[in-house]
Amino acid sequence: MNCSSTRRPLEHLMGDTMPATPDPGSTVRPRPYLTVLLPCYNESAVLPETYRRIKAVAAGLQKSYEIVLVNDGSSDDTLAQMLQFAQRDPGLVIVNLRATMGTNWLSRPACSIAPASGC
C-alpha cells in the first residue's frame, strides 16, 4: 500500500513497512473506546466543519476516542487543513494516501489504523 500516517508530528509508513514498535520517545496510547475513520477526497470546503462536528460529538460521549482523517489523494488543500488540525490536536491521526484509492481500501488495513474496532 502506498500511504503514510501521521501520529502527532511523526510520520510512519503504513502497510508492510510500518514499524512494529513505536518510535523512541513516542507515547503509546491505550485503545480508545471509539475510533472515527473519515476518508476525505477534495473535502477542503467542508472539512473544517465536519471535523468540528465529529470532535464535538465524540467529546460529548465522555469516553476515550480518536479521529483518523484519511486523505485519499486529494488535489485541493485537504491535506494542508488536516495538518493544521493536527498541530492543535495531538491525538489526531492523519493518513495520507498518495493516490486515490476510494473507500474500499478501508476493509483491509482499518484494523491497524483504528484499533478500537477490535479486529
Which pLDDT value is given to residue 48? 97
**Is residue 23 included in any domain, yes or no?**
no
Which pLDDT value is given to residue 112? 55
- DSSP per-residue codes, 45-110: TTHHHHHHHHHHHHHHTTS-EEEEEEEES-SSSHHHHHHHHHHH-TT-EEEEESS---GGGGGTTH
Which pLDDT value is given to residue 67? 94
**Is residue 46 included in any domain, yes or no?**
yes
Give the model confidence (pLDDT) of 11-55 as tens digits: 333 332 233 344 556 666 678 899 999 999 999 999 999 999 999
**Is residue 22 included in any domain, yes or no?**
no
Q: pTM here? A: 0.66
Domain count, the chain: 1
Which pLDDT value is given to residue 91? 84
**Is residue 93 included in any domain, yes or no?**
yes
Which pLDDT value is given to residue 23? 56
Which pLDDT value is given to residue 21? 41
Give the model confidence (pLDDT) of 88-111 as tens digits: 998 899 988 876 666 666 555 555
Which pLDDT value is given to residue 92? 93
User: Could you list the residue range(s) of the whole structural domain that residue 92 is in?
Assistant: 3-14+31-117
- List residues bridging with 95 in a β-sheet: 5, 70
CATH number of the structural domain spanning residue 53: 3.90.550.10
**Is residue 69 included in any domain, yes or no?**
yes
